[in-house]
A and B are shown apart, each in its own frame.
Chain A
Amino acid sequence: MPEFGFPPQAASARINSVVGDLRKRSETAQVETVTGRHEDPAAALDGQVGELFLIQKALSDNGDYRRAIGLAEGRTTTMQTALEGIQIQIDLLLRDVTNALEFGNASVRETVGAEARTALGAITSALNMRFGDRGLFSGDAGDNAAIAQPDTILAGSLVALNGAPDATTAYGDLSSEFTFPGGLFETQIYLGGSGSAPAAQTAAGERIDYGQRADDPALRNVIRDIAILSLALDPASGLDDAMRGGLAEQALGGLRNSVPDVVALRSKLGVAEARIADARARNLAAEAALTISYNDLAGSDQFEAAEELKALEVQLQTAYATTARLSNLNLASYLG
């Protein structure tokens, strides 16, 4: 008996296998067309997904650094604004106190004294400025205020000043209280921490330290001298009358000497701000480069995927059409 034809079971198994493969590939092409990503990156990369993971991590780390940069920018801008305000207060006070001491009468001096007290309040507020949960000038004790209220500063200073025999000695005594460990400043006026606030990590291996504390020597001197001016120019302050004039003169000189130091603080902060701005630029460049690398590995060309989907669709239609036609080509269909 001559052999001819093809067992239907074998034919069925063969076409099922082909159609199944076409359908699976169609589903993959569909997903890749829509998402632009490999449906199974492990299969697309033949299991070599380690590099893809690490690029993904680098992108995530870059995002962390960008957030840290944003926080640092906000904090430094606020600190710079505070220091600018302090510098303006100093400048105004220097002008007004100079005029009052040189040309003014008692009434003018009393007015300037009130101005000095207001300036002390403004400087205290500036140094107690917060950003989020952090006191910006409080060091590592960010939940504390940095500086005590003006009343506390003035009360403590008055005690230290009145104990001296003359203005020069009084100024020296108060300076010691503001300078040395355990003195008035460290025990009653400065409320922050002895450690520094954390530096900002702006890139792998790069930390930018922008922290400044209210117990910086420049700021100690400013607070000291403005406190003295507040007391010396106020006849009702309780300060010994014999020392007023001399103390005011010495405080004015001290305040004038503080200006370059405050400018230096602002410059140092400015340098940190510039480094942070530079870090942001590098961060954005890194983001772009990493995104390209990631897409090269993980991405699939959506247009190519769409073309493949179309081709598979045609193949499936052909498979179905030929199956239907061939299924009629059997002897049973032609026997009566």
Chain B
Amino acid sequence: MSISNALNNAVSGLTANGKLADITSNNIANALTPGYARKVGSAQASILDGAGAGVRVAAVDRLYSDDLTRTRRTADGELASEVARSQALTALADLVGDPNDAGSLFAKYQAFESSLRSLADTPESGALQLNAVLAAGDIVGKFNALADRTRDIRQSAEGEIAQLVGTMNSNLEEIARLNRQIQVFKSGSRDASALEDRRESLVDEVASILPVKTQRMSDGTVTMMTREGIVLATTQTAKLEFSARPIVTPDMEYAGGSGILSGLTIDGVNVTPGGGGPQAIAGGALAGLFDVRDRIAPEFQAQIDAMAADLAGRFETAGLDPTTAPGSAGLFTDTGSPINSADILGLSSRIALNAAIDPAANGDPARMRDGLGAAAPGPSSNAAFPAAMLDALTESRTAGAIPGLSGLRSGAEIAAAFSELRSSARITSENARAALTSTRETLANAESETIGVDTDQELQQLLLIEQAYAANAQVVRTAAAMLDELRNLV
């Protein structure tokens, strides 16, 4: 009967508008949720036996902006990579110090040179002898601190890589599970938009760790692979593998896979960033951390080791100290022994003061005047040895053995040039990070404008839904009244 059809049509209208109100209210509730994309309900006329049978919400679609999202995820990965580098470079530059920093490496060199100059002028002063020892000790302490920090940064990178690999593997498992679930929902015409939101959020997280390409399939699943073409997740997953070392020492390296440190594989395929392999990944936080572990930290280690060797070598010059035998350790030692120029890896952590002048080792600071091998005090105002040490420190020597430096430089000039190298590296990285941050923010905003929730738009939609609901409710009342009239006739 047509009145009952009208009633059914009106009820379907109430149901459909109720669903649309549900979708709209969910959009408004998530207006500020990061990563949330607007949902749109698709109303469709119902047809039964070739005749109109009301309305239904055929599908709830999540908005996508594939180009913007892909570009934004690329920016996320580049930014995450640069953040990892920038943090390491900033930490190292901060410890090296800048001209405002009284504890900078350069300030230590400067103070030591000044102490030797004062001692050469007044060698009889016990206070100045001790001051020179303390200043030398400060340089040693600074080198040790730089070595410790480098080791910590490298160790931290190793740990973070392991953590991110764990996160990746669990995210890939979850993405595959969501793919399977969405596949089932879509095949049953059920609303899978919330699952898609969750999946997109996980893909965003993965993309910042490791650059990926995604492709949405017709069954609702997403195929995710590395930019180099290795499939990471569909309804099944690949597995990332990495073996973290509990302790990372300066002599450990990856060395293309032949070293002790682990690389990164995906189902056995070597994808180690910077490893030189054909499918080595580039970009993402993992690439940044591998760069820190395998290039940035080792390069810094090599620089400070070479600087320590240069400093110690200046005081082992033949003839500098007539009270010691040729080849003996000078003012600075390698754990008590002379420096071995063929074995300077890690020297910055091993460099120490000669025990002959170190009060902490029952040494006598007066030997800064008399010579390291002096058995008895010499003439109190004899400045020959302090002056010779000052000349050794201020002598222009080739700095080419220190990676990144060249030319002839004194000790303090080497410290200044090295500080400039580290400052430049930090500023360059910070500038890159700022530019990438700005780009990423612009892309995220553009993406949000395209697929985000505009509350004004949603409220306008809600007004229309409310009107439609009221109209359908009126139809129900009218149809019911008509049916009542029919009953009254009987």
Interface of A toward B, CB cutoff 8 Å = 1, 3-10, 12-14, 17, 37, 40-43, 46-50, 52-54, 56-57, 60-61, 63-64, 67-68, 71, 132-134, 138-144, 193, 195, 197-198, 200-201, 298, 330-332, 335
Name the contact of B100 in the complex, choosing from A13, A14, A37, A193 (C-beta under 8 A). Answer: A37
Known contacts A42-B98, A56-B99, A195-B379; is-contact A7 B419 (Cβ 8 Å):
no
Known contacts A9-B453, A10-B452; is-contact A139 B110 (Cβ 8 Å):
no
Known contacts A49-B419, A54-B413; is-contact A9 B32 (Cβ 8 Å):
yes
**What are the residues of chain A within 8 A of B444 when measuring CB–CB?**
13
* Assembled-state Cα–Cα distance A332/B448 (Å): 20
Q: How large is the interface on B (under 10, 10 to 19, 20 to 34, 35 or more residues)?
A: 35 or more
Contacting pair A5 B98 (CB below 8 A): no
What are 28 A-B contacts defined by CB distance under 8 Å? A1-B457, A4-B454, A8-B31, A9-B452, A12-B32, A17-B441, A41-B99, A43-B430, A46-B424, A47-B420, A47-B428, A48-B423, A49-B98, A49-B420, A50-B419, A50-B420, A133-B124, A133-B125, A134-B380, A140-B381, A140-B383, A141-B380, A142-B124, A143-B124, A195-B379, A201-B120, A330-B455, A332-B459
Contacting pair A141 B125 (CB below 8 A): no
* Assembled-state Cα–Cα distance A12/B455 (Å): 13
**What are the residues of chain B within 8 A of A144 when measuring CB–CB?**
380
**What are the residues of chain B within 8 A of A71 when measuring CB–CB?**
121-122
**What are the residues of chain B within 8 A of A335 when measuring CB–CB?**
459, 463
Contacting pair A332 B383 (CB below 8 A): no
Minimum Cβ distance to chain B for residue A283 (Å): 14
* Assembled-state Cα–Cα distance A3/B460 (Å): 11
* Assembled-state Cα–Cα distance A5/B120 (Å): 77
**What are the residues of chain B within 8 A of A12 when measuring CB–CB?**
32
Contacting pair A54 B455 (CB below 8 A): no
Chain B residues 383-437 with CB under 8 Å of chain A are 383, 387, 412-413, 415-417, 419-420, 423-428, 430
Name the contact of B382 in the complex, choosing from A50, A54, A57, A193 (C-beta under 8 A). Answer: A193
Name the contact of B120 in the complex, choosing from A10, A47, A198, A332 (C-beta under 8 A). Answer: A198
Contacting pair A9 B114 (CB below 8 A): no
* Assembled-state Cα–Cα distance A8/B113 (Å): 60
**What are the residues of chain B within 8 A of A133 when measuring CB–CB?**
122, 124-125, 380
At the interface, yes or no: B207 with Cβ under 8 Å from chain A?
Answer: no
Interface of B toward A, CB cutoff 8 Å = 31-34, 93, 98-100, 106, 110, 113-114, 117-118, 120-125, 379-383, 387, 412-413, 415-417, 419-420, 423-428, 430, 441, 444-445, 448-449, 452-457, 459-461, 463
Known contacts A8-B31, A42-B426, A140-B380; is-contact A50 B417 (Cβ 8 Å):
yes
Name the contact of B98 in the complex, choosing from A1, A41, A60, A67 (C-beta under 8 A). Answer: A41
* Assembled-state Cα–Cα distance A1/B424 (Å): 53
Given contacts A47-B427, A54-B413, 20 further A-B contacts (CB under 8 A): A3-B454, A4-B454, A6-B454, A7-B449, A9-B32, A13-B448, A47-B420, A49-B99, A53-B416, A53-B420, A57-B106, A60-B114, A67-B121, A133-B122, A134-B124, A140-B381, A141-B379, A143-B380, A198-B383, A330-B456
Known contacts A54-B413, A143-B380; is-contact A201 B456 (Cβ 8 Å):
no
* Assembled-state Cα–Cα distance A10/B456 (Å): 14
**What are the residues of chain A within 8 A of B32 when measuring CB–CB?**
8-9, 12
Name the contact of A197 in the complex, choosing from B99, B381, B455 (C-beta under 8 A). Answer: B381
Contacting pair B381 A141 (CB below 8 A): yes
User: What 4 A-B pairs are tightest by C-beta distance, nearest first?
Assistant: A47-B424, A142-B381, A198-B383, A50-B420
**What are the residues of chain B within 8 A of A138 when measuring CB–CB?**
381
* Assembled-state Cα–Cα distance A221/B381 (Å): 26
* Assembled-state Cα–Cα distance A50/B417 (Å): 5
